Structure 1
Amino acid sequence: MEELLTVRQLAKLTGYAEQTVYNKVSKGEFILGRHYYKPTRKKVLFIRAAIQEWLINGSTHKAPGPKKESEQSKQTVEGTKSSPRVIPHQRRIKI
């Protein structure tokens, strides 16, 4: 059976702060199913062998994230670029 590490254990092993480990999970530097499991909503368990490989090879493989809103607004239905429509912010005033 593979050895699993908690966030605290991984932080001690790598020298990172615990919050840095959570940030790396959030940014996609650690990949779910490859580097860690989430048995519950709040619990993260890391696969020691995968983390050691990650440490040796570096963090060059990031999981692809969702497209940013600016990238999505550049494409239209036809696939051509269009200039985004700017709508000025309107402030509601109570009378």
Structure 2
Amino acid sequence: MKYAVLLLAGFALAGCDGQNGQTLPDGVTAADVALFRAAVADAGCSITSDAQAAPVEARTGFSEDKLRSITQYLRLNGETDVGATGFRLTSGTCANA
């Protein structure tokens, strides 16, 4: 997985007004989202390079499409911050990291 997948998914939604309580995307379960959150938290809460993205991909085993769906879902829920340098999870254990 390239961290660019996460970055592009966030940029695609940068103009959207996400609302808490978004429904899960097709093919994504609450357990998938929890696994992704845990993997990103273990990777330091930010993904700014392929080296940081690799452990997330390895831990989850998700396809790029599924990763994109999850990051879009989290973005709409206001749980991420996407900038020019990468993707940052801003919820759960990463909220104050």
**What is the TM-score normalised by the length of structure 1?**
0.29
**What is the TM-score normalised by the length of structure 2?**
0.28
- Greater C-alpha Rg: 1
Larger relative contact order (Cα-Cα within 8 Å, sequence gap ≥ 6): 2
